[in-house]
Amino acid sequence: MIGSNIVQGLNAIGIDDVIGVDDLTDGPKYRNLLGAQLSDYFDRSEFYARFARREFGQVDAVFHEGACSDTMEHNGRFMLDTNYRCSKDLLDACQAQGTRLLYASSAATYGGSVAFREEPAFERPLNVYGYSKLLFDNVVRRMLPTARTGPLTQVAGFRYFNVYGPREQHKGRMASVAFHHFNQLRETGKVKLFGEYGGYGPGQQSRDFVFVDDVVAVNLWFLQHPDQSGIFNLGTGRAQPFNDVAVATVNAARAAAGDAPLALADMVRTGLIEYVPFPDALVGKYQCFTEADLARLRATGCDHRFADVATGVAAYATWLTTSG
């Protein structure tokens, strides 16, 4: 999802010498690359070894967005091989060739923390996915100080918070709540949210929801500022309740139909929003609150302004409607 949007973003600023890398075992995923300008494409099973052998000439930068992002995946061996070892091998190859690496970390590294700063004291992953991301972040942390004693090839990791937006339809249950809300509303006429849990009222659990266009913009800012390396939060810096996502989704659909917007209470009263019991499978493994601390990102000079939920979800709903 994020990778395909980054390709579109690169094309938009005139960069089309782009090698696409993916696993298209799920064939319909090709739709994410429709309209993108690529110079070549490789399956992930082939790319890494060929890149390490320097078969692609001098590559300026690699955007490494691929991972197993299923927070319910319990096979730690698979998770670490896919998310950690693959990333570590790619880092080594990039450093050997002087190729910059901009990669996807995750807010899952914070897990049960109540603060979200890029510091070990706040990193408490609740699942092996979060741990796999933290393990690689720690490798980057160890190498950056030594790299700074000599010529530094940029390495920037982005701890994505809850990303939503176009080109995520292939992700199934791991797609964003905005995606699921849109489809629930279209198919059943209502949006379902978790009820009371973790000291939060129905639908009041809050996350830092970030529109994928903003994620692309920050990645491209770092591409244009090769002197900036490190690990950075990438979210809006403000938590919003799941209720806000549901309200934005319903009101976007109403606007498309020419209907007036409704308040949350009216949506609950009329059955447009329904609260369901919190699932037992997620008890103790669920982040009820996330909010990116943007101090480190802002200290680089990146002053990108992020869309709020109402703005981003409305744009996304329009894209979902027009893209079929």
Tell me which residues are annotated as active site: 129, 171
Q: Ramachandran region of residue 165, left (φ > 0), alpha (ψ -120 to 50) or beta?
A: left
Cα–Cα distance between 289 and 197 in angstroms, integer?
Answer: 11
Backbone angles phi, psi at 43, to 5 degrees: -70, 150
Angle between helix axes 309-323 and 212-223 (nearest 10 degrees) is 100
Shortest CA distance to 158 belongs to which of 281, 315, 284, 2?
2
Cα–Cα distance between 182 and 222 in angstroms, integer?
Answer: 32
Cβ proximity of 167 and 32 under 8 Å? yes
Shortest CA distance to 288 belongs to which of 302, 278, 297, 300?
278
Name the one residue in this structure whose structure tokens are 């489809």: 183
Q: What is the secondary structure of 51-93 as a DSSP string?
A: HHTTTT----EEEE------TT---HHHHIIIIIIHHHHHHHH
